[in-house]
């Protein structure tokens, strides 16, 4: 499975080396002989060339608290990842919450896990794919319009 085959509500996880293999239907795993920043860069370049999806990116909240003394190389990793993100915003959630989101997603949608060679804790990057041609503001405006139309229809006098 390639990222170009994925659509709205599918997920891509660019995982560190110890990320568990899942046996659940809907999770497809491939191995990359690269570090997380290089894979994030390539996945984002691929997604940026498509019009049908855009990623909502999540990282583990714990990653910010990991110190270089306990995980040598984490400071360099953070700098490399920042560059690889192509200025995309990220949302921080507890790692366990991110794993729960993935498990819930597999009930109805596909998840592509790309396991990397990165051996640093809490460094996996989670991407929830959103429509590339329709954003939250557009959806909100549509819902407001539909609500107004429904209210106008209810306010009309019965003939």
Closest CA to 36 of 83, 99, 103: 83
Residues 35-52: what's their mean pLDDT? 94
**137 close to 131: Cβ distance less than 8 angstroms:** no
Pairing between strand 11-15 and 90-93?
unpaired
- pLDDT at residue 136, as a whole number: 74
Residue-wise pLDDT tens digits, 72-102: 999 999 999 999 999 999 999 999 999 999 9
Residues in the chain: 159
pLDDT band per the 50, 70, 90 thresholds, residue 5? low
138 SS3 class: helix
**Low-confidence winner among 38-52, 69-83, 114-128, 141-155 (lowest mean pLDDT):** 141-155
- pLDDT at residue 65, as a whole number: 96
Among 3.40.1650.10, 3.30.365.10, 3.40.50.720, 3.10.129.10, name the CATH number for the domain at 3-133: 3.40.1650.10
């Amino acid at each position: 499975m390639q990222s170009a085959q994925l659509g709205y509500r599918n997920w891509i996880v660019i995982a560190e080396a110890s990320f568990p293999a899942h046996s659940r239907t809907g999770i497809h795993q491939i191995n990359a002989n690269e570090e997380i920043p290089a894979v994030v860069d390539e996945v984002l370049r691929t997604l940026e060339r498509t019009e049908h999806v855009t990623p909502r990116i999540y990282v583990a909240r714990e990653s910010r608290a990991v110190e270089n003394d306990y995980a040598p190389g984490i400071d360099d990793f953070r700098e490399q990842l920042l560059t690889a993100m192509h200025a995309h915003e990220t949302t921080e959630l507890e790692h366990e919450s991110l794993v729960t989101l993935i498990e819930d997603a597999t009930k109805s949608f596909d998840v592509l896990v790309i396991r990397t060679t990165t051996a640093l804790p809490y460094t996996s990057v989670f991407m929830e794919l959103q429509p590339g041609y329709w954003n939250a503001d557009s959806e909100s405006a549509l819902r407001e319009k539909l609500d107004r139309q429904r209210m106008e229809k209810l306010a009309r006098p019965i003939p």
